A and B are shown apart, each in its own frame.
Chain A
């Protein structure tokens, strides 16, 4: 399983990914680990990608798969994207589909809440 840092409650969950890469070699493990960590979630699931330096289309597909698997019970949102990761979401226009927060939301799990 991919190492994750899970905090908060099932109503407002924060999951920080403790891995530098979300690529073809790790996409499946990432998907299964996050879905397992969020299996009881029923509100916002904030995925903190602050440690992720590299994401390719396999990692992107895994994030979308998690988002679709959690809906409609829970809503996946992202936080603390490093520039190369943010760029992939922008390039593919998936930043229009998934809410992306700054690093503050990733640090506290509370920013932008409302």
Chain B
């Protein structure tokens, strides 16, 4: 259908890399996706991986010193595509963390290190590259979005 790739299928946000701004951005994204008729489980999945992604940037790339995150959320027939760009520090060794769970100890479970594990367990097509001093991360969260369910073309 010509014209179906309307700009309404993409949400672009500039997010300050701090916990309160991230919480607010997550609210904006989930409200936008709810209009696109994602179901409740898909919505909470996107919210979770996006929270982990943005928190990682704030805590590790920007080392809690603040900065800007460019966030893009796009609807596609195969799900929700998410891309972030930040000007924080490069990933260690220039690659995404493996996201394996730290050696598991029932009596003394780790308090951290779950973020990348959660992201890797959920997303598809995960990519990272560093270009001109910026980190680019992108991935897809599977969701059943048909063209008719997209924003602007929805009927009840």
Q: Give A residues with C-beta under 8 Å from B.
A: 21, 23-26, 54, 56-58, 60-62, 64-65, 68, 83-84, 87-88, 91-94, 96-97
Contacts and interface: CB of A to CB of B under 8 A. Distances in A.
B115 interface: yes
Contacts of A62: 111
Q: Which among A58, A60, A68, A88 has the greatest number of chain B C-beta atoms within 10 A?
A: A58
A93 B104 contact: yes
6 contacts: A25-B23, A54-B51, A57-B115, A61-B114, A64-B111, A92-B101
Contact of A61 (B19, B20, B44, B111): B111
Interface of B: 19-20, 22-23, 41, 44, 47-48, 51-52, 55, 58-59, 101, 104, 106, 108-112, 114-115, 117-118, 121
B55 A93 contact: no
B57 to A, nearest CB: 11
B114 A92 contact: yes
Contacts of A68: 108-109, 111
B121 A91 contact: yes
A62 B55 CA distance: 15
Contacts of A60: 114
B23 A21 contact: yes
Listed from nearest, the 9 A-B pairs whose CB atoms lie closest are A25-B19, A84-B44, A57-B114, A24-B19, A61-B111, A56-B51, A57-B115, A24-B55, A25-B23
B41 A24 contact: no
B4 to A, nearest CB: 31
Nearest to A58: B55
Given A24-B22, A25-B19, A54-B44, A61 B118 contact: no
Contacts of B106: 96-97
Of B41, B52, B111, B121, which is in contact with the most chain A CB atoms at under 10 Å from its CB? B111
B101 A56 contact: no
A92 B118 contact: yes
Residue among A68, A83, A88, A91 having the largest count of chain B Cβ atoms under 10 Å: A91
